[in-house]
């Protein structure tokens, strides 16, 4: 796709890049009010390009996948703020009637999330250097404050850089998928793949969020209830 | 929260406690720059308790022992209460609300408001308890509600996970305006969800087998009907 045909204005791109920085800093630095969750960031990404519903759908799918990776202890987990923003924006900007673009957006978001996880680790190593030597910081508390704030600013920059680097490629990838001729086989395969992955993510998320609870019948009851509601609503 | 963050958070209190005594302030900052870990929302409990200990002139050795003893439980209790219970519950309620027809923006607002009510209450509760109880704060971590809330939320989370998986499946199928196979695919979703929970090591193979077999079944059915 030629750059001029990418369905994203420069102003929107700038807003999204700035938002990527803010969302990234929320997850580990400040204020940790969970605007960095993919449910929120993808909806915001979709909303900025005109379709919050599309963004929410991508965000909800990424959210279920992320439940398996909580930030327990020193565990590595996806950086979901910029990831959700990129994925929600990519899907919403190329049209919401293509299963392929939905899958492409989710894969792009998941990839950005794990690249972001690596960047978080690199940034943490940088923080260790920033907060040494301890003797100097202890004798000059104002230096401690300054370096702490520098670390937070670097985190904002990291999130903005991540969003700037992957937003346009994700949109191009989703747009390329939309342009491909669709076949019945590809559609049924894609839908089955997505629904199966969704269900597996839900089951794995259940294991992570329910210590010591043997609750598989409850998972099934929930699914049956969902089927009933879906049947009634139509 | 690493040591630098802990010392940064305590700095305003330490400056007041050691006002006019830069040497003792420097010693206190050095004490709190050491390695520390906690769930971020419960870090206030440690900040309050340690600031109280500094105010009451506890010995540096006792403060260091207290820091070391507190950091493990603060992480464990917080991870279980917030990351594994409160956050998933609020997220899944918002996703269910969307699946039941609430708009996307309102669903996000529902999540952010419900989650952050709990978040802010815990931060305030932690700091107040830490400040009031000082080095005796460890008994706070044995309060019953910290154990009861995750136990109560665990079954709710499982129920919501099953519900959300199916409601989101319907949204996915709406994308391709494809409702005919919905009931079958919802059953696949419920089935794999069960398998993923019950036998996680086999889930990958089962999922791959299903994904590979569904198009083949479709081809066979298309061939026989044609």
User: What's the confidence (pLDDT) of residue B216?
Assistant: 65
**Cβ of B4 and A144 within 8 Å?**
yes
Do residues A214 and A81 make contact, with C-beta atoms less than 8 angstroms apart? no
Question: Which span out of A2-16, A181-195, B57-71 was modeled with the highest average pLDDT?
Answer: B57-71
B11 — contact with chain A (CB < 8 Å)?
A: yes
Nearest CA in chain B to A139: B26
Q: Please determine, for residue B48, whether its predicted confidence score (pLDDT) is greater than 50.
A: yes
Among A182-186, A187-191, A197-201, B150-154, the range with the most confident prediction by mean pLDDT is B150-154
The 3-state DSSP class for residue A63 equals helix
Place of tokens 């960095």: A36
| Contact residues, B window 55-94, toward A, CB-based 8 Å cutoff | 75, 79-80, 83-85, 87-88, 91, 94
Of B70, B163, B194, which Cα lies nearest the Cα of A203? Answer: B194
Q: Which residues of A touch B41 (CB under 8 A)?
A: 32
Instruction: Compare all CA atoms of chain A with the CA of B159 and give the residue at the minimum distance.
Output: A222
Q: How far apart are CA A45 and CA A35, in angstroms?
A: 12
Angle at the Cα of A32 (from A15 to B14), degrees rounded to 5? Answer: 120
Arithmetic mean of pLDDT, B188-208: 66
Length of chain A: 234
Q: What number is the average pLDDT over the span B94-113?
A: 96
Please write the tens of the pLDDT for every residue from B128-168.
Answer: 999 999 988 888 888 889 989 999 999 999 999 989 988 88
Using the beta-carbon criterion (under 8 Å), do A191 and B27 form an inter-chain contact? no
How far is B155 from A223, CA to CA, in rounded Å?
13
CB of B18 less than 8 A from some CB of A: no
Task: Please check the confidence at residue B24 and state whether its pLDDT lies above 60.
Answer: yes
B101/A contact by beta carbon, under 8 A: yes
Q: What is the pLDDT of residues A61-78, one digit of tens each?
A: 999 999 889 888 778 899
Residue A99 confidence (pLDDT): 83
**pLDDT score at B173:** 73
Give the minimum alpha-carbon distance from B76 to chain A in angstroms, rounded to a whole number.
8
Of A97, A98, A198, the CB nearest to B189: A198
Q: What is the mean pLDDT of residues B165-184?
A: 71
* More confidently predicted of A221 and A14: A14
Chain A residue with Cα closest to B23: A139
Residues 108-167 (B) with a CB less than 8 A from some CB of A: 108, 111-112, 115-116, 119, 150, 154-155, 157-167
Average pLDDT in chain B: 84
**What average pLDDT does the segment A144-160 reach?**
93
Please state the φ and ψ torsions of residue A86, each to the nearest 5 degrees. -65, -45
Residue B157's CB is within 10 A of a number of other CB atoms, namely: 29
Q: For an interface test with B, give the residue of A64, A96, A223, A233 to mutate (most B CBs within 10 A).
A: A223
User: Considering CB atoms only, which of A67, A98, A144 is closest to B7?
Assistant: A144
The per-residue DSSP string of A169-214 comes to HHHHHHHHHHHSPP-HHHHHHHHHHHHHHHHHHHHHHHHHHSTT--
Interface test mutation site (partner A, options B163, B211, B220, max chain A beta carbons within 10 A): B163
Highest mean pLDDT among A173-177, A186-190, A202-206, B197-201: A173-177
What separation, in Å, do the N-terminal and C-terminal C-alpha atoms of chain B show?
64
Closest by Cβ to A222, choosing from B14, B85, B160: B160
The better pLDDT of the pair B223, B91 is held by B91
**What contacts A72, CB < 8 A, 6 or more positions away?**
B79, B83, B84
Q: Is B23 near chain A, with CB under 8 Å?
A: no
Per-residue pLDDT, averaged over A143-163, amounts to: 94
- Nearest chain B residue to A196 by CA distance is B189
Q: Which residues of B touch A35 (CB under 8 A)?
A: 112
pLDDT at A35 over 90: yes
Nearest to B189 by CA among B170, B175, B202: B170
Contact A51, A88 (CB under 8 A): no
- Alpha-carbon distance A39 to A96, whole Å? 17
ipTM entry = 0.93
Question: How far, in Å, are A6, A167, B46 from residue A172 at the CA level?
Answer: 7, 9, 48
Q: Measured between CB atoms, which of B186, B191, B214 is closest to A188?
A: B214
Q: To the nearest whole number, what is the mean pLDDT of chain A?
A: 87
Q: How far apart are CA A163 and CA B138, in angstroms?
A: 42
Which of A176-190, A217-231, B95-109, B122-136 comes out lowest in average pLDDT?
A176-190
CA distance B145 to chain A (A): 16
Contact B161, A201 (CB under 8 A): no
Question: Which pLDDT score, from 0 to 100, does residue B226 have?
Answer: 44
Query: What local confidence, expressed as pLDDT, does residue B198 receive?
Result: 62
Instruction: State mean pLDDT over A26-30.
Output: 86
On the question of pLDDT at A191 being above 90, the answer is no
Measured in angstroms, the CA of B132 and the nearest CA of chain A are apart by 25
């Amino acid at each position: 796709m030629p750059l001029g045909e990418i369905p994203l204005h420069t102003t929107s791109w700038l807003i999204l890049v700035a938002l990527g920085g803010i969302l990234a800093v929320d997850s580990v630095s400040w204020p940790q009010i969970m605007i960095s969750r993919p449910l929120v960031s993808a909806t915001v990404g979709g909303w900025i390009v005109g379709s919050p519903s599309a963004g929410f759908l991508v965000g909800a799918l990424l959210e279920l996948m992320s439940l398996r990776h909580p930030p327990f202890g020193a565990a590595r987990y996806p950086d979901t703020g910029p990831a959700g923003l990129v994925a929600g924006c990519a899907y919403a900007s190329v049209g919401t009637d293509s299963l392929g673009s939905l899958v492409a957006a989710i894969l792009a978001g998941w990839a950005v999330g794990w690249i972001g996880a690596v960047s978080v680790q690199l940034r943490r190593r940088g923080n260790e250097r920033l907060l040494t030597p301890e003797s100097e910081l202890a004798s000059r508390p104002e230096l401690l404050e300054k370096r702490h704030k520098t670390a937070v600013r670097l985190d904002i920059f990291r999130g903005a850089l991540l969003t700037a680097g992957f937003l346009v490629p994700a949109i191009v990838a989703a747009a390329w998928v939309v342009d491909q001729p669709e076949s019945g086989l590809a559609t049924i395969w894609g839908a089955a793949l997505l629904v199966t992955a969704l269900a597996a993510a839900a089951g794995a998320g259940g294991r992570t969020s329910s210590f010591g609870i043997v609750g598989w019948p409850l998972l099934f009851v929930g699914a049956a209830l969902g089927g009933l509601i879906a049947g009634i609503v139509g | 929260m690493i040591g630098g963050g802990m010392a940064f958070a305590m700095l305003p209190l330490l400056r007041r406690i050691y006002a006019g005594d830069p040497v003792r302030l420097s010693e206190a900052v050095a004490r709190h720059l050491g390695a520390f870990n906690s769930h971020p929302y419960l870090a206030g409990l440690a900040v309050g308790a340690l600031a109280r200990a500094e105010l009451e002139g506890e010995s540096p050795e006792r403060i260091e022992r207290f820091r070391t003893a507190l950091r493990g439980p603060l992480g464990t209790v917080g991870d279980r209460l917030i990351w594994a219970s409160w956050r998933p519950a609020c997220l899944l309620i918002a996703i269910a609300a969307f699946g039941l027809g609430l708009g996307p923006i309102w669903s996000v607002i529902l999540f952010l408001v419900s989650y952050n009510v709990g978040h802010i209450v815990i931060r305030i509760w932690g700091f107040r308890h830490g400040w009031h109880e000082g080095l005796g704060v460890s008994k706070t971590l044995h309060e019953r509600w910290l154990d009861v809330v995750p136990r109560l939320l665990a079954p709710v989370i499982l129920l919501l996970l099953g519900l959300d998986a199916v409601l989101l499946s319907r949204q996915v199928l709406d994308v391709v305006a494809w409702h005919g196979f919905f009931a079958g695919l919802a059953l696949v979703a419920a089935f794999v969800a069960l398998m993923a929970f019950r036998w996680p090591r086999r889930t990958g193979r089962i999922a791959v087998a299903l994904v590979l077999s569904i198009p083949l079944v479709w081809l066979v059915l298309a061939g026989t009907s044609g």
